[in-house]
Amino acid sequence: MPPPADIVKVAIEWPGAFPKLMEIDQVSAQMAQQLHERIQSSSMDMKLDALKDLANSSRDITFAQEFINLDGISLLTQMVESGTDFGDLLSFTLTAFVELMDHGIVSWDTFSVAFIKKIASYVCKSAMDTAVLQRSLAILESMVLNSQDLYQKVAQEITIGQLIPHLQGTDQDIQTYTIAVINALFLKAPEEKRQVTQSQKQLRSIILSNVIRSNKPINDEMAHQLYVLQVLTFNLLEDRMMTKMDPQDQAQRDIIFELRRIAFDVECESNNSGSFEKRKSMYTRDYKKLGFINHVNPAVDFTQIPPGMLALDNMLYFARHHQDAYIRIVLENSSREDKHECPFGRSSIELTKMLCEILKVGELPSENCHDFHPMFFTHDRSFEEFFCICIQLLNKTWKEMRATSEDFNKVMQVVKEQITRALTIKPNSLDQFKSRLQNLSYTEILKLRQSERMNQEDFQSRPILELREKIQPEIMELIKQQRLNRLCEGTCFRKISSRRRQDKFWYCRLSPNHKVLHYGDLEESPQGEVPHDSLQDKLPVADIKAVVTGKDCPHMKEKGALKQNKELLELAFSVLYESDEYLNFIAPDKHEYCVWTDGLNALLGKEMTSEFTRSDMDTLLNMEMKLRLLDLENIQIPEVPPPIPKEPSNYDFVYDCN
């Protein structure tokens, strides 16, 4: 078999390096061969030591390739299927398996039903070694996410009910892996099965009591899995949100009749009660009071998608479960002047659409988001309850604004601001969310807006703009120095692979003289700065040709099949050096991405264009402007300079300073 292209290239351009690479490959091959033989030893002690070494060595991709070439994966799966290993032997076997599969060399589709059954049996057992359980859950998650065929097989072996007991323990890592498997099963499940999966009320209540309200703080990984579960739960609403009402469907029209009956306490008239014209006039009058846009045929109002039938579902839930509030809102508005009434029907439709936008119903979960809301885990019908609170808020805000029908969009903007501000504090319950809204009246929103405007005031008069332009270069130089100082401190980067969770890190930092990038692999995440002398690899800044970002990065082209990772594209950047060599990065977050791309561009003498730079520029520039203009507070600054006075008739005058 010919050597890989990259090795050939190195051999041509760096002849001295080729023997070294060959030596490394030979050592890895010998080590792989030895471990392959040792793990088949009849001595349990020797076998255990070999599996420990294998678990550690499998993190290295060169060794992993050699061991896999010896059909090592098949050997490990046979050991698992035989069921003869247990305890530490099984734990290290599964650890080595997970590490080897993490490199993405072997397809997940190659595993037998017997292996899947064995892994599932470890998860289903009531008492199982923690390490074995954790690895088994990780394997099931990867199987489900990487193969639709494997999802079918895993789903036949394990149910949500069998996973729930693992959430009732105190080990947060086990709880995290368990929720990850539940999310994976739910994500891959066919549409008809998703409803069954999520309808298990026991799951929500156990997560609430044992995870969200436990004494332990929720770590980032758990927060991410809870966020994913929250998103997938709300995505169950997408079907109703995108379903138009059929005006000819009697069952759907009966829901509108039910809204009218509850609001006005009337029984549906029989076909013989009065003339057709009289009944039609009565219906039209009541539908107008209910706030529908189309008074004659309100079914037409629900043909807009989104929110489609979801809006009607919310209205019916509100009318049945909060009947007093529903009747009060309808009757209160029907007794007002036409121009001052808050139309319940139209408001409900637009509010449902707004809530779907706020909660991003129908969107796939983000890879790096941790934004879950505890209050949505406190009720089986949390979206409907959320709507009920917000529709009452809308009616209250309408009255506070003394709005008319022309102000409808303005009211909706204020309501959206009230809701989003209340959500930022992450209320623990729906009642706490409701209390927070009580403190965000229209008057309070105006005060907050005014305060924020004053803090972010952007003066537009010509003298002020000229002053801004004058001091802008020195602010930009200050930002540049800060970016370079941050690069000198360095950053720990994760190595990205097919599995989300892994513990492989590398560190990169700029030398104090800004001439060399030092980088190297780490065994674990560092607690502070990593010294230059511990980073073996160097890249002179003078050799850097360019900085590329996003999908232009070579490691993003390679990982194009890595599912829903739009976020990774936004955090990826690469440094081009030599002719076509790259140093590839995945920033831990958007902040670090901006710092590094800005700093590298500054080193190359290019403009810093990140969002972070623009934000810093605005903040520092506004602060500097306010400090310089402090003495001019409450003084009107003219738009144009004052006129120059006429020249004196003669210059025969003296100004006596005494």
* Domain extents in the chain: 23-193, 250-265+275-453, 472-615
- Cα–Cα distance for residue pair 140/184, rounded to 1 Å: 9
What number is the average pLDDT over the span 511-519?
Answer: 92
Q: In the structure, what pLDDT confidence band is assigned to residue 196 with cuts at 50, 70 and 90? A: very low
Supply the pLDDT for residue 240.
92
Supply the pLDDT for residue 200.
63
Is pLDDT at 638 greater than 90 in this prediction?
Answer: no
Supply the pLDDT for residue 643.
86
Return the HEC string of 197-251. HHCCHHHHHHHHHHHHCCCCCCCHHHHHHHHHHHHHHHHHHHHHHCCCCCCCCHH
Tokens at 267, concatenated: 């029984």
- Cα–Cα distance for residue pair 393/397, rounded to 1 Å: 6
The position carrying tokens 């934004």 is 371
Q: In the structure, what pLDDT confidence band is assigned to residue 633 with cuts at 50, 70 and 90? A: low
Residues counted in the chain: 658
Which residue(s) pair with 581 in the sheet? 577
The position carrying tokens 């991405």 is 593
Give, in order, the Cα–Cα distances in Å from 144 to each of 148, 167, 189, 227, 228. Answer: 7, 20, 10, 19, 16
CATH of domain 23-193: 1.25.10.10
Supply the pLDDT for residue 561.
45
The 10s digit of each residue's pLDDT in 561-610 is 444 467 778 888 999 988 778 888 989 888 999 999 999 999 999 999 88
Is pLDDT at 6 greater than 60 in this prediction?
Answer: no
Q: CB atoms < 10 A from the CB of 253, how many?
A: 16
The position carrying tokens 């232009």 is 552
- State the average pLDDT for the chain: 84
- In the chain, the percentage of residues whose pLDDT exceeds 90 is 37
What number is the average pLDDT over the span 170-190?
Answer: 90
Is pLDDT at 1 greater than 60 in this prediction?
Answer: no
Residue 427 class from Cβ within 10 Å (0-12 exposed, 13-18 middle, 19+ buried)? buried
Is pLDDT at 412 greater than 60 in this prediction?
Answer: yes
What is the phi/psi pair of residue 39, to 5°?
-70, -10
Tokens at 35, concatenated: 């471990």
Which helix (H) or strand (E) segment holds residue 401: the answer is helix 382-401
Residue scoring higher pLDDT (555 or 266) = 555
Q: In the structure, what pLDDT confidence band is assigned to residue 374 with cuts at 50, 70 and 90? A: very high
- Cα–Cα distance for residue pair 73/70, rounded to 1 Å: 8
Residue scoring higher pLDDT (285 or 315) = 315
SS3 of 572, please?
Answer: strand
How many angstroms from the chain centroid is the CA of residue 485? 29
Tokens at 477, concatenated: 């130089």
Q: CB atoms < 10 A from the CB of 428, how many?
A: 16
The 10s digit of each residue's pLDDT in 111-158 is 888 898 999 988 888 777 888 999 999 999 999 988 888 888 888 888
Residue scoring higher pLDDT (320 or 523) = 320
The string of DSSP codes covering 314-368 is HHHHHHHHSHHHHHHHHHHHHTS-GGG---HHHHHHHHHHHHHHHTTTTSPPPTT
What is the phi/psi pair of residue 540, to 5°?
-60, 135
Contact 271, 332 (CB under 8 A): no
Contact 179, 225 (CB under 8 A): yes
- In the chain, the percentage of residues whose pLDDT exceeds 70 is 87
- Cα–Cα distance for residue pair 341/404, rounded to 1 Å: 7
Give, in order, the Cα–Cα distances in Å from 339 to each of 292, 335, 336, 408, 415. Answer: 14, 11, 8, 11, 19
- Cα–Cα distance for residue pair 504/494, rounded to 1 Å: 6
What number is the average pLDDT over the span 157-181?
Answer: 89
The 10s digit of each residue's pLDDT in 68-94 is 999 888 999 998 888 776 788 889 999
> Tell me, what DSSP letter sits at residue 299?
G
Q: In what order do the strands lie in the sheet with 572-577?
A: 544-549, 572-577, 581-586
What number is the average pLDDT over the span 253-260?
Answer: 90
Supply the pLDDT for residue 10.
43
Supply the pLDDT for residue 435.
94
Q: In the structure, what pLDDT confidence band is assigned to residue 415 with cuts at 50, 70 and 90? A: very high
Pairing of strands 544-549, 537-540: unpaired
SS3 of 283, please?
Answer: helix
Q: In the structure, what pLDDT confidence band is assigned to residue 267 with cuts at 50, 70 and 90? A: low
CATH of 472-615, one of 3.50.40.10, 2.30.29.30, 1.10.275.10, 3.40.640.10: 2.30.29.30
Is pLDDT at 457 greater than 60 in this prediction?
Answer: no
Is pLDDT at 251 greater than 80 in this prediction?
Answer: yes
Tokens at 233, concatenated: 């739960």
Q: In the structure, what pLDDT confidence band is assigned to residue 9 with cuts at 50, 70 and 90? A: very low
- Which is it for the CA torsion 623, 624, 627, 629, positive or negative? negative
User: What b/e sequence results for 620-630 when a residue is b if at least 16 CB atoms lie within 10 Å of its CB, and e otherwise?
Assistant: bbbebbeeeee
Lowest mean pLDDT among 313-322, 525-534, 571-580: 525-534
Tokens at 626, concatenated: 């306010």
Is pLDDT at 14 greater than 70 in this prediction?
Answer: no
Supply the pLDDT for residue 11.
46
Which helix (H) or strand (E) segment holds residue 583: the answer is strand 581-586
SS3 of 521, please?
Answer: strand
Which residue(s) pair with 470 in the sheet? none
Helical H segments across 58-147, by residue range: 61-69, 72-82, 88-102, 113-124, 130-146
Residue scoring higher pLDDT (465 or 11) = 465
- Cα–Cα distance for residue pair 604/578, rounded to 1 Å: 15
